[in-house]
Amino acid sequence: MKTLARKLLSSMGYRLERITPPQGDLWGGNPLQDLDLYRRLYSADSVDRKRFYNVGAGGFRHPAWTNVDMKSDWYASVQNADSGELLEYDLLALVPLPIGTDSAEVFYSSHTLEHIPNAAADNLIKEAHRALKPGGVIRLTMPDIDLFYDALVRNDVDFWYQRHTYSLENHWRGNGLKGPMSQFSIEQSFIEIICSAASEMKSAEAGLPRRITDEEIRSHLASDRPEELFEFVAGHKDTSRQKEFPGHHVNWWNYRKLHAGLEQAGFTDIIRSGYGQSRCPVLRNTRFFDSTHPKHSIYVEARKP
């Protein structure tokens, strides 16, 4: 069939050539190869001093980037916290970032802001603005609560594609659930994405004694505007235990809320971006960025004037 197709295309005047794939990963799966792009776009000083900051970096590794995070038993398996590569910073402390003013090239944070309350998120965004050079970029990604709300309204239980994974015993037990995720309602899945400890899925030792019921969600869904429902759920958070359970969600975000926070901090050129679609070339490499739950995520980017 392929031979026949080639003959047909040749008879129509098309020139057929065999394409040899490039050696290695075209998008820089090797971070050392990826450095060429950084050196072309930024000063050697910025690259060598790693003035690119990934906040809440977890297991992220790149020779041009500085990981900003707290040592945590929760993330110990991926964090490599004793390697000397980690700039320790407590997001909940509401203190300045240990980074000089007008010194950073880029800030990136993936699926971190939903783990901290509004005051901590506002402080981080303002501190990123202070630390960035004029023209510097911040890119934020996290669960898009508007997508989850729409799925809840439509009763689209399959939107939560993790339900299969977290129905495997090693996953639901390892994540502090009382049982397989598939046994719980869509309402409980919705609660978990905003305030993990308030979901009936969580085991008793992992959060609040007071859980939100399905009936409460449906009642608020019928009478509240979306943001009022989000705030009702987030209002059950207990941030006093967040250092013990840093993987829990305690907040919600959508484009409107992110835009307002970035604008208030002084950022301009605020855009809703997409997976791998950054205006900043080094952030388009999806081997390193935007890889966490892209089906559920929002991507927002801004620039310091």
Question: Cβ of 129: how many Cβ atoms within 10 Å?
Answer: 21
Residues 136 and 173 in one domain: no
Taking each helix axis as running N to C, give the angle between helix 214-223 and helix 226-234, from 0 to 180 degrees, rounded to the nearest 10: 150
Residues 150 and 134 in one domain: no
Residues 135 and 259 in one domain: yes
Looking at the DSSP assignment, which residues form a beta bridge with residue 106? Answer: 52, 137
Nearest one of 242, 269, 255 to 297, comparing CA atoms: 255
Q: Is the distance from CB of 302 to CB of 165 less than 8 angstroms?
A: no
Please check whether residue 23 lies inside any domain of the structure.
no
Residues 137 and 265 in one domain: yes
Q: Is the distance from CB of 226 to CB of 149 less than 8 angstroms?
A: yes
Please check whether residue 1 lies inside any domain of the structure.
no
Residues 128 and 37 in one domain: yes
Nearest one of 180, 252, 241, 172 to 207, comparing CA atoms: 241
In this prediction, residue 38 carries a pLDDT of 97
Please check whether residue 24 lies inside any domain of the structure.
no
**pTM of the predicted model, to two decimals?**
0.86
In this predicted model, what pLDDT tens digit does every residue of 209-230 receive, in sequence order? 579 999 999 999 999 999 999 9
In this prediction, residue 153 carries a pLDDT of 97
Residues 125 and 42 in one domain: yes
How far apart CA 266 and CA 304 sit, in angstroms, is: 7
H helices of the chain, in order, are: 2-11, 31-41, 44-48, 76-79, 118-131, 145-153, 162-165, 169-174, 186-194, 214-223, 226-234, 255-265
Residues 43 and 134 in one domain: yes
How far apart CA 62 and CA 213 sit, in angstroms, is: 43
* Domain containing residue 169: 145-241
Please check whether residue 81 lies inside any domain of the structure.
yes
The HSE-up count of residue 21 (CA atoms within 13 Å, CB side) is 5
Residues 137 and 264 in one domain: yes
Please check whether residue 7 lies inside any domain of the structure.
no
Distances (CA, A) of 139 to 82, 196, 234, 286: 27, 25, 24, 13
Q: What is the CATH number of the domain that holds 88?
A: 3.40.50.150
Overall number of domains in the chain: 2
Residues 136 and 196 in one domain: no
Residues 182 and 198 in one domain: yes
Counting as low any pLDDT under 50, the low residues of the chain are 1-28, 82-83
C-alpha dihedral over 45, 48, 51, 54, to 10 degrees?
170
Residues 132 and 72 in one domain: yes
Please check whether residue 17 lies inside any domain of the structure.
no
**Tokens standing for 186?**
């869509």
**Tokens standing for 203?**
């085991």
